[in-house]
Structures are given as structure tokens and as C-alpha cells.
Amino acid sequence: MEAPSTRKIIRVVQGQSEQAERRVVEEYPLRLRVNERELATLVCSPHQLNFLLVGFFRLQGFIDSLDDILSMGVCSEYGLAELRLRTELPERLQPTLTSGCGTGISYNLPQNLLNPAQQRPRSYRSEELFRLMKELNNLTEQYRSHGGIHSAAIGDADGLLLHAEDIGRHNTLDRLAGEALFKGIDAQDKMLVTSGRISSEMVAKAARLGVGLMASRTSPTDRAIELCEQAGITMVGYLRGNSMEIYSHPQQLACPPLKGL
């Protein structure tokens, strides 16, 4: 990851002022031009843009593999990414401005993700989930140094497989999806942990990846919980230390028995 900017500040502590320096996260607008057509502007962090771009187009349903990208180039000076895809984009796109940091964009935010009849049972253990979140926390050096960066990871019972950081919560999932495609890692039935609030567009992206459990240090939205119920995804919030709250499909996560039962 590129080093963040440093700014001179005045720090006030216990009634005393002093001059200091603070590292601040970079907010990078990236224009997308696809098949010579202006598509959108992503607000993101400026590192590993290949993972971000490939994951974004994968989770929007525009590509299925790297072979679907004929060419891809990024001009960092002008903040422009130019891609040529094998297939043409739909003539009329209806973007949805999502609740992600910096306002995320989704062109394919589904109302129903999976047919309940097609869902298969999954099984996870609470100790595996706690361990995965601990691994993510140990990797979030950028947040500890200056704040403002979200992080996410995909893993399984053996530990963490992929890790991403970005100024936007939704961008971290795009980055994971892109890196998984580059490295040939299958996210089907894996666990996904994140530092930020889980909203509906994040569930939609996780469902496209085949993730079976999502967990956050903070809360999910009501719509995110509803989509997890539809998609057969176990939703966990406030995963901190050795405590958590389960919002959907608790039968898939082995936990201590309920009090009084």
C-alpha cells in the first residue's frame, strides 16, 4: 500500500496545544471508461487498482473471468482507468447509489439473491470465526497508524486466505473478489469478516462470491439481514473479543447452547 499523506496539525490534549504531524488517508477518485464509454467514478484508495477494477466488474456481473478483459490500463496522473471488455455493456444502465463510504455504485443490486430451494446447509464453528477476525485485526496496520481505512478478509477453518484495505467498505469486497480471480481462490462457502457496517450492497457482493458467513465488528443494516436470510448467509455483528451477535441462519454456526435450554 502506498504511504498516506502527512499533514501538519495542532494537537490539543488536556488543555495544552502543540504542533504535530498526522498521517491521513488518501481519497482517490478513479474514472472508469469501458469500451470507450464513460461508466462511473469510484472513490477509493490508490493501491493495487488491478484487484479493485477486476473485482468491481466481476461483482457487477460484467465479467466472469480474466479472459473477459481484453485490455486494462490506468493513468494514475489523471485518475483514469480504461478497459475493453469482450462483451458490450447493456445500452441502458440504471446505477444505484449505495450506502458505501464515498457513495458506492451498483448496477445490479438484486431484490432476491437466491432461491431458498437451491440453498444447501453450511457449517461453521465460533472459534474459527473468532480466530479469523483476530487475524484481520492483526493485519490492519493502516487503521492503527492513521484511521479512516476499512479492512476485510476471506478465510476458512484453516485461517485467512485474502485480505484487503480501502477507504470504502464496499471497495474492500471488490478488491477481495479481484484478487481471488487473479489467484484462482474459490470463495464458495468461505467466511468473510469486515471492520465496517454491513449494508445490502455488501451482502449482494458476498452472495455473488458464494460466501456463507459474513461478520463485522459493528452492525448490519435491516436490509442486509433480510438479504442474508434470502441468500442462506449467516450474518454476525459486533464480533469483538469473544462475543458476537447472530442475526440470520444461526443454525449454521456452532456456538455454546442458549441459557435455560
> Residue length, the chain?
261
What is the C-alpha separation between 119 and 99, in angstroms, rounded? 27
Active site residue 101: yes
Phi, psi of 245, deg, nearest 5:
-125, 130
Q: Which of 75, 101, 228, 255 is catalytic?
A: 101
Residues ≥6 apart with Cβ < 8 Å to 228: 203, 214, 220, 234, 235, 247, 248, 249
Residue whose C-alpha is closest to residue 63's, from 90, 92, 86, 96: 86
Nearest residue to 227 (alpha-carbon basis) of 54, 56, 111: 111
Give the CA count within 13 Å in the CB-facing half-sphere of 23: 12
| Positions marked catalytic | 101
